[in-house]
Structure 1
Amino acid sequence: MTFPPPHIHPPTISHTHTIIFLHGRGSNGPEFASDLFSSKSSTHKNLAQTFPSHKWVFPTSRDRWSTTFQEEQCAWFDAHSLDDTTQGSESQVEGLRESVFYILDLLEKEAEVLDGRFENILLGGISQGMGIALWTLFGAAATGRITGRLGGVLGLCGWLHFAEELEQGSLGLDDGGHTLCEIFHEKMSVPGLKHWKSSWIPMLKKGVLMTPVFLGHGTDDVWISIRLGMEAHQIMKHFVDRAEWYEFSGAEGDGHWIKEPEGFDQIVRFLRSSSSNSSEVVVDDNI
Structure 2
Amino acid sequence: MMGFPSSHIHLPQSSHTHTAILLHGRGSDGPEFAEELFSSMTSSCKNLPSCLPNWRWVFPTSRDRWSHRFQEDMCAWFDAYSLDDIHERQDLQIDGLRESVSRILGILKSEIELLGGKTSQVYLGGISMGMATAFWTLFCATNQYHEPLGGFLGFCGWLPFARQVQDVAQRSQDSVPNKLQLQRSVAGFFLNTISGSKISQVSQVTEPVDTSILSTPVILSHGSDDIWVSVDLGRQAARVLQQIQIPVQWHESTGAENDGHWIKEPEGFDQIFEFLEERCSHT
Is the TM value for this pair above 0.5?
Answer: yes
1:210 is aligned to: 215
1:17–1:54 CA contact under 8 A, matched in 2: yes
Query: Does structure 2 conserve the Cα–Cα contact (< 8 Å) formed by 1:18 and 1:54?
Result: yes
List aligned pairs for 1:78-227, cutoff 5 A: 78-141=79-142, 144-171=143-170, 172=172, 174-175=176-177, 179-189=185-195, 196-197=205-206, 199-200=208-209, 203-204=210-211, 207-227=212-232
CA offset at residue 186 of structure 1?
A: 2.8
**Deviation of the 1:66 alpha carbon:** 1.2
Q: Name the amino acid aligned to 1:11.
A: P
Distance 1:84 1:197 in 2: 33
Post-superposition shift, 1:101? 1.2
* Counterpart selection for 1:272 from 258, 261, 277: 277
Note if 1:6 corresponds to 2:7: yes
How far off its partner does 1:275 sit? Answer: 3.1
CA deviation digits over 1:84-115, x for unaligned, max 9? 01111111100011111111110100111100
Structure 1 residue 56 displacement after superposition: 0.2
Count residues with an aligned counterpart.
269
Q: Does the 8 Å contact 1:209/1:239 carry over to 2?
A: no
Query: Which residue of 1 is the match for residue 37 of structure 2?
Result: 36
Q: CA deviation at 1:197?
A: 4.5
Distance in 2 between residues matched to 1:74 and 1:277, nearest whole Å:
37
SS in 2 for 1:155: strand
Percent sequence identity over aligned pairs: 49
Q: CA RMSD in A?
A: 1.8
Contact 1:124 1:130 survives alignment (8 Å): yes
- Secondary structure in 2 aligned to 1:170? helix
**For structure 1, which runs of at least 5 residues remain unmatched after alignment?**
279-287
Distance in 2 (CA, whole Å) between partners of 1:121 and 1:260 is 24
Structure-1 residue corresponding to 2:201: none
Q: Distance in 1 between matches of 2:135 and 2:279?
A: 16
Q: Secondary structure at the match of 1:199?
A: coil
Cα distance in structure 2, aligned partners of 1:23 and 1:199: 33
**1:263 counterpart letter in structure 2:** G
Deviation readout 1:178-214 (Å, 9 max, x if unpaired): 81122113311159xxx944533xx52xx21110011
The alignment partner of 2:208 has SS state of: helix
CA contact (8 A) 1:97 1:188 kept: yes
- 8 Å Cα contact 2:185/2:205 also seen in 1: no
- Give, in whole Å, the separation in 1 of the partners of 2:19 and 2:75: 24
Measure, in 2, the Cα distance between the counterparts of 1:19 and 1:28. 16
Structure 1 residues 252 and 214 mapped into 2: Cα distance closer, same or farther (>3 Å)?
same
Deviation at 1:240, TM superposition (A): 4.5
Structure 1 length normalisation: TM-score? 0.89
Q: CA deviation at 1:220?
A: 0.2
Q: Structure 1 CA distance, aligned partners of 2:62 and 2:101? A: 11
Tell me which of 235, 258, 264 is aligned to 2:263.
258
- 2:58 partner amino acid: V
Which amino acid letter does the alignment assign opposite residue 147 of structure 1? H
Please identify, of 211-220 and 265-274, the stretch whose mean Cα deviation from structure 2 is larger.
Answer: 265-274
| Corresponding residue of 1:281 | none
- The letter of the residue matching 1:264 is F
CA distance in 1, matches of 2:206, 2:280: 30
CA distance in 1, matches of 2:4, 2:196: 19
What do the CA deviations read for 1:19-67 (whole angstroms, capped 9, x no partner)?
A: 0000000000001100000000101000111100000000000101111
CA drift of 1:170 comes to 1.6
CA contact (8 A) 1:122 1:152 kept: yes
Task: Quote the residue 2:68 is aligned against.
Answer: 67
Give the conservation status (yes or no) of the 8 Å contact 1:251–1:259.
yes
Q: Unpaired segments of 5 or more residues in structure 2?
A: 198-203
Please identify, of 63-72 and 224-233, the stretch whose mean Cα deviation from structure 2 is larger: 63-72
In the alignment, which of 205, 228, 234 is matched to residue 233 of structure 2? 228
